[in-house]
Amino acid sequence: MWALSPLEHSEKDSVLQSRNSAVKTAPIYPEITGSDHCPVGLELEF
């Protein structure tokens, strides 16, 4: 059995920063019902 090597702390930080830099807004829509999950909109900025 094989396992992926864990990211170093600095690598994790850079991955999170690169993902967050493109996120313009992520509103939550609690008024939308009928799902087990909270509906979230995601607007990206490129």
Q: What is the pLDDT of residue 44?
A: 80
The per-residue pLDDT for range 1-46, each reduced to its tens digit, is 455 455 554 554 544 555 567 778 888 887 777 766 777 787 887 7
Quick one: pLDDT at residue 38? 72
Residues contacting residue 44 through CB under 8 Å, at least 6 positions apart: 22, 23, 24
Measured between alpha carbons, how far is 6 from 11 in angstroms, rounded to an integer? 10
Say if 12 falls within a structural domain: no
Question: Is there a domain that residue 15 lies in?
Answer: no
- The total number of structural domains in the chain stands at 1
pLDDT for residue 31: 79
In a domain, 43, yes or no: yes
Q: For residue 5, tell me if it sits in a domain.
A: no
Predicted pLDDT of residue 18 = 56
pLDDT reported for residue 1:
44
- Domain span at 27: 20-46
What is the per-residue pLDDT for 20? 60
44, part of any domain: yes
- Whether the CA torsion 17, 24, 34, 32 is positive or negative: it is positive
Q: What is the DSSP letter of 44?
A: E
DSSP string over 1-41: ---PPPPPHHHHHHHHHHHHHTEEE--B-TT--SSSS--B-
